[in-house]
């Protein structure tokens, strides 16, 4: 990828820039929950004084400008922003790219009324500020492109074409950059077959400063000779992060981004006003497709809550009818039957209702993440959660596997609905991967309508307080080293290698509203030095997960295996710096609510078309009232948003697929 061309003065990241970034970070995290004044990242919706001052400034500057500057300003006003045309690549395109390149953009373009905007693109900022803003936005997009390409994640074609055009180069489709997905299972093919695994290499993996390095043998680490793979640059990451942190707090950039976002929203409203009836007519003329039979993909859903409340209740009653005398639970060294478990709880499944199951997150969970997590315990009993919603118990997670397979069967019956549930790896022990893979393969949990993700909860502080882990580096080692070993020696790790074929990405989850107060920098302790009980910051977690995924993806691509995307929970609560770190490292994010606090970051997410999976019904129970959810506002501005359920079991109405959430987004919650 071409290097970013910046003047020498702007390439220097001196102490003044770092000091400014630290001040901005401190102002953002200080008194986060009680602060109501305007953030350094915010721009008021209505600022009449600033508008008046801006007009006076422009008039004064226009009158004092030299003839050369006036000519320059006139030229800027007549700039036409046209999508740069890319020449055909010398490399062979995939079939779908060939079809797209030889077909018209639209087969039948509706006769919409269109409005063209011409003249000044500076949107109310001075020409000098406009140039500074454009340079900053250009560099920010180049930063994201760099980190996405290095980690084999996605960067959209349109912004890439613009960046190459700015650099005076021709954009070409690079097939070597981008994720590698497992091909769909063919009819009659076993999704759990193990006879086609690559050969073992016998390489050695060792963690160094929180990042996995691959060596030819066990003696190579002492010689400092890792295999030739891309490895992360911590200092470069910190410099890029400081630049972005300073950028989103600059006044001219905030003003420009705010006005552009308002302009985009106005364009949508104008189009809707002019062409609403034409769109409805086009919608009605589309045969065999309506709201219910268009394809819906739930890209943000947790496996432990992927069933609705009624489904869980029916399964509990059914299991009691069939397995009342079966030994299913171990308590204090004693094995209990299902009947004895319910007797200890003074319950009978016949008397249970959806209301008494009490897994619905309501007003009592608002701003209470601890109470929200407690809703995963049916009737408030952790015993039932261990029995029905865990992969490891006295019956090897059989009930949980059966429930998930029933959900998959329901999705197949619905035909047009797909889901991507998340399973947890905690990093407490390296054997977690083998146990999870064995559970998955043993119960043959496969559906053509499902793919899977791994979520890593940010709960190092809990494990360290109980002395389960000596330092944070051990947690990273437990999460990533087993996957590296399965990649290097798949035949020696058959169960895990088969399981990894069904995994599409990694997620980082937990309560974002918990502040660590630590600003990630080159002075931060290395993971093996983080021995105290305090949890690392969100950015610290995100960087080291990204760093290991970067190395892992390049290794797996060399071996002809599927790669993984990094798709963390981000922007649900907490500091705006979470969204900044995700902009650099994540293929896409879940939630993104706090983007409404930063017009610059919101505009960058729009320019880079970063996908955002939003869950209005889930947010309504935890962090943000339904009416205040920015989903529709983001959609109007052109951000790449989608709907997801997050926790169907805890959501109002127990929705399972995005169809219900979308209906609620349009019509309001039930």
Burial, 592: exposed, middle or buried (Cβ in 10 Å; 0-12, 13-18, 19+)? buried
* DSSP letters for 606-645: HHTT--EEE-HHHHHTTTS-GGG--HHHHHHHT--EEE--
Contacts of 14 (CB under 8 A, 6+ apart): none
What is the CB-side half-sphere exposure of residue 231 using CA atoms within 13 A?
16
Catalytic site residues?
Answer: 591
Identify the bridge partners of residue 329 per DSSP, sorted by sequence position: 336
Residue with tokens 């080293």: 481
Cα dist. 525→276, 368, 476, 518, 540 in Å? 56, 31, 14, 11, 10
Under DSSP, the state recorded for 332 is T
Beta-sheet strands, E only, within 482-558: 503-509
DSSP alpha helices (H): ranges in 87-209?
95-102, 127-150, 157-166
Q: What share of the chain is helix, strand, coil (3-state, %, to 5)?
A: 50, 10, 45
Contacts of 312 (CB under 8 A, 6+ apart): 357, 359, 378, 388, 403, 649
**Tokens, residue 170:** 């021709």
Which helix or strand (DSSP H or E) is residue 230 part of?
none
* DSSP letters for 231-284: ---HHHHHHHHHHHHHHTT-HHHHHHHHHHHHHHHHHHHHHHHHHHHHHHHHHH
Residue with tokens 């088969």: 498
Q: What is the rounded CA–CA span in Å between residue 536 and residue 540?
A: 6
Q: What is the rounded CA–CA span in Å between residue 81 and residue 84?
A: 9
Under DSSP, the state recorded for 516 is -
Contacts of 13 (CB under 8 A, 6+ apart): 239, 242, 243
């Amino acid at each position: 990828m071409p290097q970013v061309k910046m003047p020498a003065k702007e390439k220097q990241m001196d102490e003044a820039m770092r000091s400014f970034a630290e001040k901005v970070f401190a102002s953002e995290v200080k008194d986060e929950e009680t602060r109501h004044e305007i953030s350094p990242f915010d721009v008021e919706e209505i600022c009449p004084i600033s508008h008046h001052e801006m007009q006076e400034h422009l008039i004064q500057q226009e009158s004092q400008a030299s003839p050369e500057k006036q000519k320059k300003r006139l030229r800027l006003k007549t700039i036409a922003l046209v999508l740069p045309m890319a020449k055909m690549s010398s490399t062979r395109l995939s079939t779908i790219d060939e079809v797209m390149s030889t077909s018209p953009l639209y087969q039948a373009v509706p006769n919409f009324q269109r409005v063209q905007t011409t003249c000044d693109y500076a949107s109310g900022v001075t020409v000098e500020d406009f140039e500074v803003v454009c340079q900053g936005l250009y560099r920010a997009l180049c930063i994201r492109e760099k980190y996405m390409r290095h980690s084999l994640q996605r960067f959209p074609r349109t912004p890439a074409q613009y960046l190459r055009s700015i650099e005076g180069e021709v954009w070409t489709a690079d097939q070597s950059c981008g994720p590698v997905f497992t091909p769909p299972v063919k009819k009659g093919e076993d999704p759990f077959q193990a006879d086609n695994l690559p050969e073992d290499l016998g390489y050695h993996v060792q963690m160094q400063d929180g990042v996995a390095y691959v060596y030819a043998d066990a003696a190579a680490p002492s010689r400092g000779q890792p295999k030739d793979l891309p490895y992360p640059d911590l200092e470069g990451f910190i410099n890029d992060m400081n630049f972005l942190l300073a950028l989103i707090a600059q006044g001219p950039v905030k003003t420009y981004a705010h006005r552009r976002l308002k302009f985009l929203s106005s364009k949508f409203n104008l189009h809707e006003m002019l062409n609403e009836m034409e769109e409805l007519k086009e919608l009605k003329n589309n045969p065999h497709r309506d709201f219910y039979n268009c394809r819906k993909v739930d890209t943000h859903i947790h496996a432990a809550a992927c069933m609705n409340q009624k489904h869980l209740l029916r399964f509990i009653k059914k299991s009691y009818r069939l397995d009342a005398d079966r030994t299913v639970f171990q308590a204090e060294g004693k094995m209990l039957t299902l009947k004895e478990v319910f007797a200890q709880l003074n319950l009978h499944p016949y008397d249970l209702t959806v209301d008494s199951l009490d897994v619905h997150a309501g007003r009592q969970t608002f701003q209470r993440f601890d109470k929200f997590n407690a809703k995963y315990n049916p009737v408030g009993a952790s015993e039932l959660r261990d029995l029905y919603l865990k992969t490891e118990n006295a019956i090897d997670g059989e009930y949980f596997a059966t429930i998930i397979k029933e959900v998959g069967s329901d999705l197949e019956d619905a035909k047009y609905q797909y889901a991507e549930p998340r399973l947890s790896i905690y990093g407490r022990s390296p054997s977690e991967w083998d146990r999870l893979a064995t559970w998955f393969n043993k119960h043959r949990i496969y559906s053509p309508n499902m793919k899977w993700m791994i979520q890593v909860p940010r709960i190092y502080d809990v494990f360290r307080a109980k002395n389960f882990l000596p330092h944070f580096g051990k947690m990273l080692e437990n999460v990533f080293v087993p996957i590296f070993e399965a990649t290097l020696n798949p035949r020696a790790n058959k169960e895990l290698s088969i399981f990894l074929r069904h995994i599409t990405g990694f997620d980082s989850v937990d309560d974002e509203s918990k502040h660590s107060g630590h600003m990630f920098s080159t002075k931060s302790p290395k993971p093996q030095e983080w021995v105290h009980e305090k949890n690392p910051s969100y950015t610290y977690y995100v960087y080291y997960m990204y760093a290991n995924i970067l190395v892992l993806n390049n290794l797996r691509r060399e071996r002809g295996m599927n790669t993984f995307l990094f798709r963390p929970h981000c922007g649900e609560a907490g500091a705006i710096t979470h969204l900044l770190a995700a902009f650099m490292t994540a293929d896409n994010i879940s939630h993104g609510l706090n983007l409404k606090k930063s017009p610059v970051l919101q505009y960058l997410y729009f320019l880079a078309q970063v996908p955002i999976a939003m869950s209005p019904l889930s947010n309504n129970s935890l962090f943000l009232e339904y009416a205040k959810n920015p989903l529709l506002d983001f959609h109007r501005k052109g951000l790449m948003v989608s709907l997801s359920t997050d926790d169907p079991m805890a959501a109002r109405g127990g929705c399972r697929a995005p169809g219900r959430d979308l209906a609620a987004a349009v019509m309001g919650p039930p």
